[in-house]
Chain A
């Protein structure tokens, strides 16, 4: 196995472990309100819609679209070579349920706005246990074909 690119890893806590380790089970997990169904990100102890405290991790669809992105060309870290795509992805599960991520397994020049993507995890071993970084890749399994493939 080739050496992994350098990544700053998150400090895993009881509050965010579902997000950073859900990938072990192939799941992109967010908190969800048991009373009203609202998805919550980043994690917080009450639902921002109904203020219920009955919130718990749940697997999302892991599918969504690229809200916006940038091709980073600046070498910020030794061991993480540009260019790579930084994007904000909005999940299908709820309008506004979004996260910053990388778009992988695609030429950066082939990334586009509104492109359909799906989560793909990469395990990073850490001293207190692995974390699974949720990246996104083009989603071929959905009928909504990316615009550049239509033209």
Chain B
């Protein structure tokens, strides 16, 4: 498709902020959220009174435990914001679809500065029940819960988790293209290596290939280390009108292109090509809206709710051909921090991803991309020609949910 109006270039990222991140810190979710929001506003060099837009994913909801808990209304009121536009909800192209909403609102002139936030407290909310607590209707027979909508097609078959749905996609990729566990492991190993030097990451002790191969399986071919780690934390991002650049604390991160497409059936099991998922469409649309190419990208912060999703994103963006993701990541050199400057390679998930840094659910990738592009990543800062990287991708989502952002500071 040929696009004529690339409206996202009328918007920029002006600041980011993040709360304390941890396991079972038993937070007040609104408190975490306000920490992140106020930090982001200060980082942008703005005042809370400048904020006239508010966006979030997935909005306030009680299930699964800790998945949300804070919606638009609570933050709007707690910060006494005077808003011209706001939107929160779940039915979006992934978690960053909420940021795409904000970009659209700014680009159409409905508001000037949108505070976007995402808060999770799954580590605390799941408590000692762990991941089993996310299986709605669990806890034995005779309960009142009956499955409807999409869940009726999976829950009766003991497949309540995206680990099962993504496991089937990964298994098909393994079967069709010869991908192996020893290859997929490099997503987890690369993330752990980056997390070792991220002071906010949850898991920072070194992980070996043998550690990966020895850990228990969850849903073949996915093992425990292919699954992200529930966390408590909040991330905020400010989307501003491009014209406001002069009022900001630092030169903004510009939005070169966004991809939000879902051109197949919106379903985990009905989508046409189960090895690509919606990531294929979001990535394709993003590249349709720019003259930049994958070879020019220095850093890629790609969703890893499960490691296989990251591999699929790498293929979707064309860092390698479809089916060649296993060979591309094998050995880890093409995705290491040091690979940012090498054409045909890309520094991947430089903060440790959700696998090791914690499941901040999509927003962590956009946060990290911006921090890297601003040169504010500390010990884990990626270097290109002696300075920070200038072109990066942040992308989030899996299955039928996906959005991609191409960012630049050059």
Interface residues of A (CB under 8 A from B): 6-13, 16, 41-42, 67-80, 84, 86-88, 96, 98-102, 113, 126, 131, 133, 135
Contacts and interface: CB of A to CB of B under 8 A. Distances in A.
Given A68-B175, A72-B220, A100-B154, 14 more contacts: A6-B140, A8-B138, A10-B156, A11-B148, A41-B270, A67-B274, A69-B168, A70-B168, A70-B170, A70-B220, A74-B161, A74-B218, A75-B132, A86-B159
A7 to B, nearest CB: 5
B157 interface: yes
Contacts of A84: 158
Nearest to A72: B219
Contacts of A9: 146-147, 156
Given A70-B164, A76-B161, A11 B153 contact: no
Interface residues of B, number: 43
B175 A102 contact: no
Interface of B: 131-132, 135-141, 145-148, 152-161, 163-164, 167-172, 175, 216-222, 269-270, 272, 274
B274 A88 contact: yes
A7 B156 contact: yes
A36 B371 CA distance: 55
B141 A79 contact: yes
A113 B175 contact: yes
A74 B138 CA distance: 13
Contact of A133 (B156, B168, B217): B156
Nearest to A12: B146
A115 to B, nearest CB: 12
Contact of A71 (B148, B154, B220): B220
A98 B270 contact: yes
5 contacts: A9-B147, A10-B155, A72-B158, A72-B220, A100-B154
A80 B156 CA distance: 11
